[in-house]
Amino acid sequence: MKLKGSFHIDRGFVYFRNVGNRVLIGGYRNLDVKTEETDAFELNQVIQANLETLLKNEILPNQSFNIEHRWAGIMGFGENQEKDFLLEEPIPNVILAVRLGGMGVAISSALAKKAVKKMDEL
């Protein structure tokens, strides 16, 4: 990948970044929301096909590549869904920073900074 760093497109629904000389890419759950409302660890072929097309046409155009690994995850949402993350101290000296509404790759570093600040205040 010619560019180095972490990137988010499609309002943060898709992410990709360098991992050594490889590319980590994921997201697109917004393309098939109903199917993604599951507790099964199964690959979604609609999402996989779109990720692969993006990789081939936009991220690594005119380059050959092999896909080393694919994975599926399960989203965890609270009552507010993606509206609010949760940052609290449920018991003394334990900071909970969760419920990122499927946007963890995009916003986890900002939440981590807030968690560190909260820890410094303890």
Which residues are CB-neighbours of 2 under 8 A, at least 6 positions away? none
Q: Is the pTM of this model over 0.85?
A: no
Residue 73 placed within a domain: no
What is the band of 26 on the pLDDT scale with cuts at 50, 70, 90? very high
* 47 and 85, same domain (yes or no): no
Looking at the structure of the chain, the number of domains it has is: 2
Burial 26-60 (b: 16+ CB within 10 A, else e): bbbbebeeeebeeeeeeebeebeebbeebbeeebb
Residue 2, pLDDT score: 79
Residues 11 and 55 in one domain: yes
Pair (55, 90) in one structural domain: no
* pLDDT tens digits, 33-73: 888 888 888 999 999 999 999 999 999 999 999 999 998 88
Question: Domain span at residue 18?
Answer: 6-59
Domain contains 65: no
